[in-house]
Amino acid sequence: AQTVTQSQPEMSVQEAETVTLSCTYDTSESDYYLFWYKQPPSRQMILVIRQEAYKQQNATENRFSVNFQKAAKSFSLKISDSQLGDAAMYFCAKIQGAQKLVFGQGTRLTINP
Amino acid sequence: KAGVTQTPRYLIKTRGQQVTLSCSPISGHRSVSWYQQTPGQGLQFLFEYFSETQRNKGNFPGRFSGRQFSNSRSEMNVSTLELGDSALYLCASSLNSGDYDEQFFGPGTRLTVL
């Protein structure tokens, strides 16, 4: 079975600073999709950013960007200028088959004012 | 456009009972997926329905079942509830018009089994 691993159960960062969340995955596919989801205390899962494996360029969405290292099977999320509203659980996920997401265990991000 | 809705939001049941959870996808979305979230096991895929057909199934016992109606609304059923079934159940919908479409998640149903 394919796995997604997040090695940082918790992270904290000062407001306005930059933080990077790590994710590694296992796959034998050459083309696939990777995602970062945010789950705030409300429990609503929100897509933060997605990366298509065949694209060399790292995805960016405003303050959020990824460092996608295909050979190393690494997919980290960088949050710049951290804001209090960024506090949440962050899940790395990979698509497997039709619409099936495989999630990592999550990283709890705390923003210190 | 209304988001994914799930009912009920909270549910308390006792061991041995059965429960039905409902998910209404975003209008026009034809794919509905279900996930179970627990502190110990994290987020796990249950199953996915598209055009009333189950296309994909996770590694859960047969007590977990689901279905999808012609209007794309989906239900999942858990029979003979066990304490370990206490979890947040999330559903997600997508257009599924191509290779992969973004999944939009509902707010979840929190099930507590006593």
Predicted pLDDT of residue B108: 96
- The continuous run of DSSP H or E covering A43 comes out as none
Task: Return averaged pLDDT per consecutive 10 residues of chain B, 114 residues in all.
Answer: 92 98 96 95 94 92 97 97 97 80 92 98
- Prior bond of B8 cis (ω within 30°): yes
CA A27 vs CA A34, A94, A96, B49: distances in Å: 11, 9, 9, 24
Are the CB atoms for B23 and B9 separated by under 8 Å?
Answer: no
For chain A, say whether B31 makes contact (Cβ under 8 Å). Answer: yes
Predicted pLDDT of residue A100: 87
For chain B, say whether A44 makes contact (Cβ under 8 Å). Answer: yes
3-state SS, chain B, equals CCCCEEECCEEEECCCCCEEEEEECCCCCCEEEEEEEECCCEEEEEEEEECCEEEEECCCCCCEEEEECCCCCEEEEECCCCHHHCEEEEEEEECCCCCCCCCEECCCEEEEEC
In tens digits, what is the pLDDT along chain A, a chain of 113 residues? 679 999 999 999 999 999 999 999 999 888 889 999 999 998 889 999 999 998 888 999 999 999 999 999 999 999 999 999 999 999 999 988 767 899 999 999 999 99
State the Cα–Cα distance between residues B112 and B114, nearest whole angstrom.
Answer: 6
Are the CB atoms for B109 and B21 separated by under 8 Å?
Answer: yes
Cβ contacts from A onto B, under 8 A:
57
Predicted pLDDT of residue A91: 97
Predicted pLDDT of residue B2: 81
Write out pLDDT tens, residues B11-37.
999 999 999 999 999 999 999 999 999
CB contact under 8 A, A99 and B94: yes
State the Cα–Cα distance between residues A4 and B77, nearest whole angstrom.
Answer: 28
